[in-house]
Amino acid sequence: MVHCPAARSEGGVRLKEISAGGVVYRKDNGSISLLALTDRFGRYSLPKGKQEAGETLKETALREIWEETAIKGTVEQPLGVVTYTYYHPEYGQMDKEVHYFLVRALTDELSPQKEEINGVAWVDPASFLKYHRENGYENNTEIIKKAWEALGLQNS
């Protein structure tokens, strides 16, 4: 079920929110840069957001990446699914399922969505990993490892 603000859990069943996003990269003269994003909580994260009615997961990922960073991209492959539970002030406990994709950037110019994103930048793979380890979300670690494998990067 796609999260719907009007939906309520009935009979003790929690609502499920479906989201999609990606690990975004670009190649410039043979070297790879990755999109580093700082969310509104000051944590390093991956661009993602809620699926809208009628969208495929790939369409959701590309739309959310564009809305949050102004990057147009193309999905290359799925990276996996992260699931967790969080508390919503109106609906209570919510199950969240985030589908991640490896996304190649087709544009370079970055512009963060000010309501949700503190900052975005293109960084080298070593810096990306450093930022994630120091201040990222642990549940993204496996997704990042899969992206590194797909890109042929060293996971150091």
Question: What per-residue confidence (pLDDT) applies to 4?
Answer: 44
Residue 129 included in any domain = yes
Condensed to tens digits (0 to 9), the pLDDT of residues 11-62 reads 567 788 999 999 999 998 889 999 999 999 999 999 999 999 999 999 999 9
Task: Pick the more confident residue, 88 or 75.
Answer: 75
Residue 130 included in any domain = yes
Question: What per-residue confidence (pLDDT) applies to 67?
Answer: 95
Alpha-carbon gap, residue 136 to 116, rounded angstroms: 16
Q: Are 61 and 103 in contact (CB under 8 A)?
A: yes
Say how many domains are in the chain.
1
Work out the widest C-alpha separation in the chain, in whole angstroms. 57
- Output the six-digit token pair for 78: 């799925």
Residue 126 included in any domain = yes
- Output the six-digit token pair for 117: 């994103």
pTM: 0.88
On average, the pLDDT of the chain sits at 90
Condensed to tens digits (0 to 9), the pLDDT of residues 101-112 reads 999 999 999 988
Residue 86 included in any domain = yes
Question: What per-residue confidence (pLDDT) applies to 68?
Answer: 94
> Dihedral angle at the C-alpha atoms of 123, 124, 130, 133, nearest 10 degrees?
80
Question: What per-residue confidence (pLDDT) applies to 10?
Answer: 54
Residue 155 included in any domain = no
Q: What percent of the chain has pLDDT over 70?
A: 91
Residue 6: pLDDT band (50, 70, 90) is: very low
- Give residue 64's identity as a one-letter amino acid code: E
Alpha-carbon gap, residue 123 to 11, rounded angstroms: 47
- When mean pLDDT is compared across 7-11, 37-41, 98-102, 137-141, the lowest value belongs to 7-11
Alpha-carbon gap, residue 51 to 84, rounded angstroms: 16
Residue 10 included in any domain = no
Task: Work out the average pLDDT over 57-70.
Answer: 97
CATH of the domain at 143: 3.90.79.10
- Nearest to residue 35, comparing CAs of 59, 74, 65, 57? 65
Residue 55, judged by CB atoms within 10 A of its CB (0-12, 13-18, 19+), counts as middle
pLDDT beyond 50 at 156: yes
Residue 25: CB atoms within 10 Å: 22
Question: What per-residue confidence (pLDDT) applies to 112?
Answer: 87
Residue 7 included in any domain = no
Residues of the domain holding 33: 15-150
Residue 9 included in any domain = no
Helix 141-151 and helix 125-135, axial crossing angle in degrees, nearest 10: 170
- Nearest to residue 79, comparing CAs of 48, 45, 102, 47? 102
